[in-house]
Amino acid sequence: MLLVLRLQLPLAANLLVESLRLLFNAATFESLVLIVVFKDAPHYLSKVIAGGDDCPASSISVLGRPLVLYNISKLALRSKIDGIVLPEGFSHTASVISASYPSIQIDEYREGRTFVQGAGDLLELPLNSIVVDSGMGGLVADQIVYPWDLLRIMGKVLESEIKASSISPNATVSESSIISGPCIIEDGVFIDDFCKVKGPAYIEKNSRVGTGSLVRNCMIGKESSIGFNCELARSYLAGKDRIAHHNVILDSIIGENSWMGGYVGTTNVLLNNQNVKYKVGDNLVDTGLQNFGAVIGAGCNIGAGVIILPGRYIPSNSTIQAGVVVAK
């Protein structure tokens, strides 16, 4: 039995987007032969994670894999996938899929096409959604519309996927450092002296955590570098990011290949303790969160001593001069 729940989420300018939360009954899901139809859906994640890639399915990385591959792997564990259908214009996403799943047939469709049930069971899935365990033996598809949805869902993935620590024999963890709680630490990671990594956390291959730093409940992409005496909490680093010394990064998203000088801070709480708001176009959207930091796009350069107030967005490839308070 396949149950589809349809929810309405508010978007900027009073628009609504339909979010699908698909619940799969564990007892019958294994008998399905799936044709997965990926749908393009509204979101506000374009060029936030990877400057040259507008599609969240291929730009967002989940535990070291593109989002679309993470979703396919979750579905493939429960059922046979007979085919995948993508909207026209997503050739890069198709290439990502075919490189890992060469035996699955991939087709394209034009907008407005109606799909008719054939030999397989059709499963429609927004490209900006993630498939996670429901907690009841089934699967749930949760849509990522805004940046704070990404942080919420990454937290959910860390909690559900990382149940025990796994430290690669090819990683280096200094004897004076502490790994507390379940963490995945991959090949080539170097954790210097007097650090603490508090799980659940994920540190992808060839990343570095500098002396005296604290990392809590984060997902850190490959080849990232965290300098001396930093604190990172509940944040997502897309990969190849360079964080200098004495930085505090809280409840934030850092796009790939961004650089931050020393003493940079992303503040995450308003002085009036109200919900943080985030600007989408000309509208301020209530995040529903009292703790939300910054969204820093890919390829940014942030000078030393910059303070970024809660809910601020720095577009990809921006340069912020040293000592600036980002308040707009």
The parts of the chain modelled with pLDDT lower than 70 are 1-32, 51-53, 114-120
What is the architecture, at CATH level 2, of domain 2-145? Alpha-Beta Complex (3.90)
DSSP assignment string, 227-244: -TT-EEES-EE-SS-EE-
Amino acid at 189: V
Say what angle helices 91-100 and 67-76 make with each other, to 10 degrees.
50
Tell me how crowded residue 193 is: count the other CB atoms within 10 A of its CB.
11
**Please, what's the b/e burial string for 246-277 (b: 16 or more CB within 10 A of its CB; e: otherwise)?**
bbbbbbbbbbbbbbbbbbbbbbbbbeeeeebb
The radius of gyration of the chain from alpha carbons, rounded to an integer in Å, stands at 20
pTM of the shown model: 0.89
CB of 186 closer than 8 Å to CB of 203: yes
Which sequence spans correspond to the domains of the chain? 2-145, 166-326
Q: What pLDDT is stored for residue 123 in this prediction?
A: 87
State residue 37 phi and psi, 5-degree precision: -105, 110
SS3 15: coil
Q: What is the C-alpha to C-alpha distance for residues 269 and 87, in angstroms, rounded to an integer?
A: 40
Domain boundaries 166-326, corresponding CATH code: 2.160.10.10
Q: What is the sign, positive or negative, of the torsion defined by CA atoms of 104, 67, 162, 237?
A: positive
Phi-psi region of 223 (alpha: psi -120 to 50; beta: other; left: phi over 0): left
Q: What pLDDT is stored for residue 185 in this prediction?
A: 98
State residue 265 phi and psi, 5-degree precision: -135, 135
Q: What pLDDT is stored for residue 132 in this prediction?
A: 87
**For residue range 16-69, what is the model confidence (pLDDT) as tens digits?**
334 435 445 555 555 568 889 999 988 888 777 876 667 889 999 999 999 999
Which residues pair with residue 40 across a beta bridge? none
Residues 6+ apart with CB under 8 A from 92: 53, 55, 58
Which residues pair with residue 7 across a beta bridge? 19
CB of 299 closer than 8 Å to CB of 317: yes
Q: What is the C-alpha to C-alpha distance for residues 171 and 40, in angstroms, rounded to an integer?
A: 39
Amino acid at 103: S
